């Protein structure tokens, strides 16, 4: 049936069909109203069918099924879709796929001839976290583009949007208590074009931010599509936009923070937050407003790529190390992050951060260390890790009892190039083809030998970093069609040995799925290579030759 992602079970009679026409009704019991509305808004618009209340397509919440589980049955009497609250929506996505690529358009190309094969689909996802990171800090995406990406995630049964909202190059979330974060930090004078060794700048201001109401709208739109939006506020590194807005946040006893502006380069920035009490209070106040906007259980606090040179030179940072009885600057970063870990836990939320948060004793228990009195060490039990530098951080966290989202850059960083050769636009990283992504396995062999630890792999995520993608068309090119392969890895129960996966079968299904992407207006990378307007001749990238290292 060319379904992507592949369902858990499917039985079909391809010779029998149920015909949909102007008299086909849509109805359901309590709890189905949102899915009915979505079907009328999308399938109804694409088919031209009114789908009035009545018999034909019947929805029902099934308490006996898990939240994301569903069962779709099509027969002579019509369509029955039953599922958990989220499963109903995923089943509706399957129903849409079964109608053909034309069902993904916003207006009808035909008004008759719509039919569904007789079948039964029984389905449930492998992972509860099936995520995509969208970096809106390096290059801002207007709200309409974010809403569109939520629809694309939903079409692939992906259920987490990780919004990377702050970085050195831009602060994208309105914080009413601190207006300069967006007055100053949401804009930069220019942008680096391509990799730094090329020396290119566009000399064009770039900026943008989301108001809190914009973000509430995004969260509500996502929730209707059973997607959780997880915000990321990056600390203590990747913070120059915030320091430019409020210089007292930086290491002003080492550098002239008042002279800093929102960063115009890419890469790892030496300007990091100081560790003073005022900075802790500042970010607590920021997070107070973030929690009001985002109801997600998890809040991502970054914790990655934090150079320690300024802390080594800072009398204030060194005094904090001595006061807390810490060994070095790595433990200082752990102390800083543990503060917010505890702060979130006290409010019923859970910290998640990049795997650097494991460094400096974050997985260890500490007792008395001179001068600081007794203090609790290590991550709070509910804290989780996004494992990006391969599997190692995720393995360590899972073995220590912490939940993990596997997103190794060697496999699922979709800013990495899709093919060798000079035609790929701004070629970055390793070659990661559609087949490479399809053969990604989120649970490594070492964890498969330890079921208790493996259970802490709550999901997987593909990351779209946008240093080299300055508009949504370039995001489309890098994301698709690879995101379709990732969606199948995250949802379907594929063989855990990648070599055993049916790549040929998936590739055949992709022929139909590309037509769905065409109907949705996605400017994906063609199999034959980039179209002329998808290339970036003369813009230097940072390709890495050879196969990526084992993760």
436 catalytic residue (yes or no):
no
Give strand ranges (E) for 189-251: 206-207, 228-235
> DSSP states of 477-495 as a string?
HHHTTHHHHHHHHHHS---
What is the distance between the alpha carbons of residues 467 and 425, in angstroms, rounded to a whole number? 12
Marked catalytic residue, from 68, 69, 167, 174: 167
Torsion angle in degrees (nearest 10) through CA of 370, 374, 375, 381: 140
305 catalytic residue (yes or no):
yes
Marked catalytic residue, from 162, 164, 238, 478: 238
- Peptide linkage before 236 cis (omega within 30 of 0): yes
Note whether 137 and 172 are within 8 A (CB). yes
What is the distance between the alpha carbons of residues 488 and 122, in angstroms, rounded to a whole number? 16
Residue whose C-alpha is closest to residue 456's, from 387, 388, 380, 405: 405
Residue whose C-alpha is closest to residue 132's, from 523, 382, 548, 460: 460
Marked catalytic residue, from 27, 102, 145, 305: 305
Structure tokens at 185: 């930090």
For 367, counting Cβ atoms within 10 Å of its Cβ (0-12 exposed, 13-18 middle, 19+ buried), the class is exposed
Cα dihedral sign, 146-152-154-160: negative
Torsion angle in degrees (nearest 10) through CA of 149, 137, 466, 548: -110
- Catalytic positions, written as ranges: 167, 238, 305
């Amino acid at each position: 049936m060319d379904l992507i992602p592949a369902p858990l079970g499917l039985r079909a009679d391809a010779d029998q069909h149920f015909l949909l026409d102007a008299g086909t009704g849509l109805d359901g019991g309590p709890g189905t109203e949102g899915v009915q509305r979505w079907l009328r808004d999308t399938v109804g618009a694409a088919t031209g069918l009114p789908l009035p209340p009545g018999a034909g397509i019947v929805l029902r919440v099934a308490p006996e099924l898990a939240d994301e589980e569903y069962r779709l049955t099509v027969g002579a009497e019509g369509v029955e879709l039953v599922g958990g609250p989220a499963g109903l929506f995923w089943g509706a996505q399957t129903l849409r796929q079964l109608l053909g690529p034309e069902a993904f358009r916003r207006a009808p190309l035909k008004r008759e001839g719509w039919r569904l094969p007789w079948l039964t689909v029984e389905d449930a996802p492998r992972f509860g976290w099936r995520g995509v990171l969208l970096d809106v800090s390096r290059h801002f995406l207007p709200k309409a583009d974010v809403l569109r990406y939520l629809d694309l995630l939903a079409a692939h049964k992906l259920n987490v949007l990780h919004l990377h909202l702050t970085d050195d190059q831009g602060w994208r979330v309105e914080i009413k208590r601190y207006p300069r974060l967006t007055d100053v930090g949401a804009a930069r004078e220019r942008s680096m074009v391509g990799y730094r060794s090329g020396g290119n700048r566009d000399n064009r201001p770039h900026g943008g931010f989301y108001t809190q109401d914009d973000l509430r709208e995004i969260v509500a739109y996502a929730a209707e599509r059973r997607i959780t939006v997880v915000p990321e506020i990056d600390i203590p590194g990747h913070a120059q936009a915030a320091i430019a807005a409020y210089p007292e946040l930086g290491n002003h006893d080492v550098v002239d923070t008042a002279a800093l502006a929102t960063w115009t380069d890419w890469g790892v920035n030496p300007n990091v937050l100081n560790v003073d009490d005022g900075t802790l209070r500042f970010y607590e106040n920021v997070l107070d407003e973030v929690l009001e906007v985002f109801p997600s259980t998890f809040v991502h606090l970054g914790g990655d790529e934090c150079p320690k040179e300024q802390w080594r030179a800072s009398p204030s940072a060194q005094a904090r190390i001595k006061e807390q009885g810490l060994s070095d600057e790595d433990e200082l970063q752990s102390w800083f992050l543990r503060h917010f870990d505890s702060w979130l836990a006290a409010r019923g939320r859970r910290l998640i951060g990049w795997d650097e948060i494991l460094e400096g004793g974050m997985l260890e228990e500490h007792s008395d260390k001179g001068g600081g009195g007794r203090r609790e060490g290590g991550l709070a039990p509910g804290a989780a890790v996004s494992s990006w530098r391969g599997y190692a951080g995720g393995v360590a966290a899972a073995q220590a009892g912490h939940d993990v989202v596997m997103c190794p850059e060697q496999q699922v960083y979709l800013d990495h190039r899709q093919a060798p050769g000079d035609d790929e636009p701004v070629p970055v990283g390793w070659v990661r083809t559609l087949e490479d992504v399809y053969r990604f396995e989120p649970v490594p062999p070492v964890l498969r030998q330890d079921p208790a630890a493996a259970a802490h792999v709550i999901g997987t995520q593909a990351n779209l970093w946008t240093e080299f993608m300055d508009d949504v068309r370039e995001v489309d090119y890098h994301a698709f069609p690879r995101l379709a392969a990732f969606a199948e890895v995250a949802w379907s129960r594929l063989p855990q040995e990648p070599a055993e996966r049916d790549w040929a079968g998936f590739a055949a299904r992709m022929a139909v799925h590309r037509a769905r992407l065409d109907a949705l207006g996605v400017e994906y990378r063609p199999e034959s290579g980039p179209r002329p307007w998808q290339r970036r001749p003369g813009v230097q990238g940072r390709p890495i030759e050879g196969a990526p290292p084992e993760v």
